[in-house]
A = this chain, B = another copy of it.
Amino acid sequence: MSTSPKATYEPLNEQTAIQLAVKLNVFEAATGLSCREIGDGNLNLVFHITESATGRGIIIKQALPYVRVIGESWPLTLERARMESEALQIFARYAPQYVPVVHHTDEQYAITVMEDLSRLKIVRTGFAEGEVYPLLSTHIGEYLARTLYGTSDFALGADARRELALQFHNPELCKITENFVFTYPLIDDESNAVEPGLTELAQELWSDQKLLLEGAKLKQHFMTSAEALLHGDLHTGSIFASDEETKVIDPEFAFYGPIGYDIGLFIANTLLSALARQDDTREQLLHHVTNVWNVFQTRYTELWQTDNQEHFAAVPGYLDYQLQHILEDTVGYAGSEMMRRVVGLAHAKDIEAIQDDAKRLHIKSSAARLARDFIVNRSRYQSAEQIVQALQQADQGVEIGI
């Protein structure tokens, strides 16, 4: 598969972005439009166009044909723009209130024109600033149950599911996850960013054969199990929210994989923000962890019982088995994600922001111990409350015993 830009591809600038908006008749008039590029320049251009008369806005997102991930530019398929816009449209079938509206897509230019979410804030940023987003986990639990159940064999039947899975053949982005989440953080790879006070702990992890074995199993399960259409990168940087509203964005890593991966990523990043938080709002973040699972479980159960194409769906024990399997994966993948946020390349912003070295190192080593337990002992977890209990044990420096 080619990773080079197509012949006609050209990056937009603020002027041509406005021209495109006019051409697409997104606004009533062709005048009074202003445009600002608000992307991080790493993977995509993001243009925010607003109409001064009405205050209305739209977003034009354009994929760049490379990613700057380890200092140098690395060519990356423009196909990911198609993955993202198609995934957004599919997720909108199941959970329209939790994804931005897509107005227009152009595969050749790798462009998606979508709803302006500037009234909301990225949750990762909000969490680092002390926000709690009281409805976040209820919304994300609903989103997860509806999109993951909705795209599974149980809801779609195998034929339609297999067809949909073809559309989300996404090898380049899957490979990034396989490397940066599942492989490099568990070995002494040059891409890892381990701060000096943690080198001993990192060495210990990298020679922990039990951790490597269970990490390898999670990796293989990620690579081979086509359970549902995943967002594929559902950390708190992929969620916009306010106190009332929640929108999941950026599903360019979408592919058919294990259901627990999406849930695990949300839980891991919320746990890291909770660990970073020292005031009494920590409890509210921990509540998100139990609540997201409980909401997911309730809605998944309801969908399973009311809209299921599998002949054996009502066999006693089958739904319980599925939920326990998903929980086990959720815990394991939360562990993989936390591990990479401590010793891998991309860290948790709110933990890195802690200036007090002892405090920061304590949090990171608690997170690493917790991550190890999640990976190695994932099958012991029977409830989301136990996830929170394990965090409290890790933070207090006592042995994690679920």
Contacts and interface: CB of A to CB of B under 8 A. Distances in A.
A166 B163 contact: no
Interface in A302-326: 310-312, 315-318, 321
A317 B209 CA distance: 9
A311 B219 CA distance: 11
Given A217-B321, A224-B153, A171 B162 contact: yes
A223 interface: yes
A159 interface: yes
A361 interface: no
Interface in A366-398: none
A225 interface: yes
A158 B183 contact: no
A187 interface: yes
Given A153-B224, A224-B153, A227-B224, A312 B162 contact: no
Nearest to A255: B162
A90 interface: no
Contacts of A183: 311-312
B171 A312 contact: no
A322 to B, nearest CB: 8
B223 A225 contact: no
Interface in A180-196: 183, 186-187
A216 interface: yes
Contacts of A310: 216, 220
A212 interface: yes
Interface residues of A, number: 36
A226 interface: yes
Interface in A265-315: 310-312, 315
A175 interface: yes
A171 B219 CA distance: 26
Contacts of A100: none
Given A153-B220, A220-B153, A212 B312 contact: yes
A399 to B, nearest CB: 23
Given A209-B316, A317-B209, A223 B166 contact: no
13 contacts: A153-B223, A158-B174, A158-B175, A158-B223, A162-B174, A186-B312, A187-B311, A213-B312, A213-B316, A213-B318, A216-B310, A216-B312, A217-B318
What 4 A-B pairs have minimum CB-CB distances, sorted nearest first? A216-B312, A212-B315, A162-B171, A224-B226
